[in-house]
Each structure stands twice: as C-alpha cells, then as structure tokens.
Amino acid sequence: MKVNTDRSFTAIHQFSESLGNAIDAKDAYTERHSLEVAEISRILALSLGPDAKTADIIHIAGHLHDIGKIGIPDSILHKNGKLTHTEWQAVRRHPQIGAAILRPVSEIADAGICEMVLHHHERYDGQGYPHGCRGEAIPPGARIIAVADSLSAMTGLRPYRPAKTFDEAVREIIRCSGTQFDPEIVRVLSEHRDRIRQTLFSIGGKNMSEKFQIESRISRGNLHLRPKGDFDGISAWELLNCIHGSCDRSGKVFIDTSHLHNLCPFGCNTFRCGLNFSLIPGERIFFKGKKGFNIAPGGCRVLVSSKSKEDRCSGNCANCSCGTGKNSHTLKKEDYRNEAIGYEVYAGQSGRNDHSGKSCR
C-alpha cells in the first residue's frame, strides 16, 4: 500500500470506519454489519498467511464494502417484501457505485481496496456480480470479504427473515464451499470458528452460543424472540444484546419463554437488572408463558394462556395480586395487533422471583 506514513494509514482506517458506520446507520437491521465484516475479514486474512499490512488493507475494505449502498434508495433497502426485478438490479449496482466513490482517493485505489469492494459479490463458480469473475480471477481480499459478509448477514436479523445462529450460518457457508465461496477460505473459517464466534459476540447483538440459541423475527414492526436452552448469566447478556440490537425504537418485544430451562437465579437477576436500566419502556416488553415470571422486571408484562389452567398464575404468589383480577385483563384484538390473542396479561414483579414452582401451577 502506497502510504507515506503510519499516521496517514491510521487516518484512512478511521475515515473508512466512519464511512462504514454511516452506511450502517441508514438501516437499524444492518447496525454494526460493516464492523463485523471488517473484523471477520482481518481474522481470515491473518489466518491465511498474508502479512499484517495486507490484512489491515482487507480490514479497511471490509469497513467500506457496502459504501455503494449510499446510492440505493432507502425504499428499496428497507423493503420488507420480495424485491422486484428492477429493484434487485438497483441493489446489484452497489459494488460498482462503491468502487466509483472510492477511486478518487489515491491511497485507497492504489491499495487495491476499490477492486475488493467492486468484486465482493462475485462467486467462486462465476455466477456472481457485477462481472461474473471466477475462482482465482476474483481478488483475494474480495473472496475473504464475501465469506465475512455472508456470515455477518446470515446471523443478523432482517425484516424479511429471522436470524440464523452462528453454527447454522457456518454450516450454510460450508455447504456453499466451491460454488459461492473459495474452499480455502471456508476451511480457515471452520478452523477458527471459535475465535470468530467470540469476536462477533464481543461486538454484541447476536447469539453466538451453542447451548443457548435465539430464534428471532420481525412482524408488523414488533420483535419476536424465542430463546432456547439453559438460561444463565451469559445467556442473559446474549438475550439483552439481541433485544437492544434488533428492537425497533417504537415496536414491542415479545419473548416466548416456553423453551427455556434450568433458569439460573443469577441469570434471571442479570436479565431483570439489564432491562431495568435499558431505554426500552417496560410496557413494550411482553413475556409469553409462565416462565416469564422468573425473568420479567417490574413494569413488563407476562402473558399466560387464557385457555389452559396450567399456564395461569394461581394467585398464591408472594406479594402478588394478579389472582384478584385487578392487575390483569384479557388482551383484545385491537390491543396488540393479533400478537397475543387468547392470552391474559400480568404485571411483572420488581426484581423478585415471586412466581415459581408450586405457586404457578
């Protein structure tokens, strides 16, 4: 890279990170995406053997890979449904737009970053875009970014599909080895999956655990989460990160607790405290199922089935008045847009595990 000083290189890196953040800020669903791609790309590059400076260049290209989306209308980028042919063709232009934006910056162009941005949607089998390059004809940095981009995208929530878990995303990339992705890069991803998992988890907002998983989807602006597995302190932080990273600023959050088990008291308390100090109003957070009583802080709502006696609170809980009916009511269709028909709602307790065992039968 033709950079006169280390100070100039640092400035370019900082500038590139800022541009990546600016693009991500256009869409709440892609928040932190460019940072994730940059970090994954650097790990893959270093593991493949290039020198540290080359890995840093690929890292910068990761920050900038989607800069061309600045030229795509927000109405297309934020569309919930399937894109029309014309809209898809517009999206496919973003690598060329990005390369054109960056080319006037000589130090970026001389480093080959423009070519990495231009070709990061090429496929190893030649079926990608914009030029249909195949195999070794695709710049190495672009092949690395293609894997990192797909991993970050698949583990991120989108308005048109739920997020995959880390392991599901890695399996999909392995399945596409030799067709969409460079087999050597896929091999390195598989070998260093634990390090990459930890890197993504440290960035936040995603479920990286093998024993604890979170299924998520968006419906009518509301976030629906279905956590599964043991609920301990780490699980609590993963669920909190998922809520804070994916929740629409005006939508509601529905958390299905029916697949949680081994609820650790520390994990429950950690989650309650985390939500208490969050900026999301408690009245916008709903826990489906009686296990919600274990993790719901004061002000949140717990939904239990109005058709099943087993899922109803007995009213015998300590410091609980929901059995009197004064703090509960049957949800109506117009209340929550069909999200909770057939449930009754109770206020969560203030940081106490007052609903458990025999008291909720």
- What pLDDT, in 10s, does the model give residues 209-218? 556 788 777 7
pLDDT at 322 over 70: no
What value does the mean pLDDT take over residues 276-303?
80
Contact between 235 and 63 under an 8 Å Cβ cutoff? The reply is no
User: In b/e form, how buried is each residue of 50-73, taking b as 16+ CB within 10 angstroms?
Assistant: beeebbbbbbbbbbbbbbbbeebe
Q: Percent of the chain having pLDDT more than 90?
A: 33
Backbone angles phi, psi at 344, to 5 degrees: -110, 150
| Catalytic annotation, pick one of 2, 26, 69, 288 | 69
pLDDT at 326 over 50: no
pLDDT band of 332, cuts 50, 70, 90: very low
pTM greater than the 0.85 cutoff: no
Tokens representing 39?
A: 């970090």
Backbone angles phi, psi at 230, to 5 degrees: -70, 140
Peptide bond into 73 cis (omega under 30): no
Q: What is the residue whose two structure tokens read 């999909």?
A: 172
Contact between 170 and 188 under an 8 Å Cβ cutoff? The reply is no
Rounded to whole angstroms, the Cα distance separating 76 from 93 reads 13
Rounded to whole angstroms, the Cα distance separating 155 from 63 reads 18
Backbone angles phi, psi at 50, to 5 degrees: -60, 160
**Rg of the chain on CA atoms, in Å:** 23
Contact between 239 and 257 under an 8 Å Cβ cutoff? The reply is no
Question: In this predicted structure, what is the pLDDT of residue 159?
Answer: 64
Rounded to whole angstroms, the Cα distance separating 43 from 200 reads 11
Structural domains of the chain, ranges and CATH numbers in brackets? 6-203 (1.10.3210.10), 213-359 (3.30.750.24)
Query: Between 351 and 242, where is the model more confident?
Result: 242
* 211 catalytic residue (yes or no): no
pLDDT at 336 over 50: no
Beta strands in the chain (DSSP E): 213-219, 222-231, 253-256, 260-263, 285-288, 301-305, 328-330, 343-347
Contact between 344 and 303 under an 8 Å Cβ cutoff? The reply is yes
Tokens representing 118?
A: 């231009």
Q: What is the residue whose two structure tokens read 């493949």?
A: 48
Rounded to whole angstroms, the Cα distance separating 149 from 340 reads 36
For 200, the 3-state DSSP assignment is helix
pLDDT, the chain, mean: 77
Instruction: Answer positive or negative: Cα dihedral of 80, 83, 88, 90.
Output: negative
Contact between 323 and 314 under an 8 Å Cβ cutoff? The reply is yes
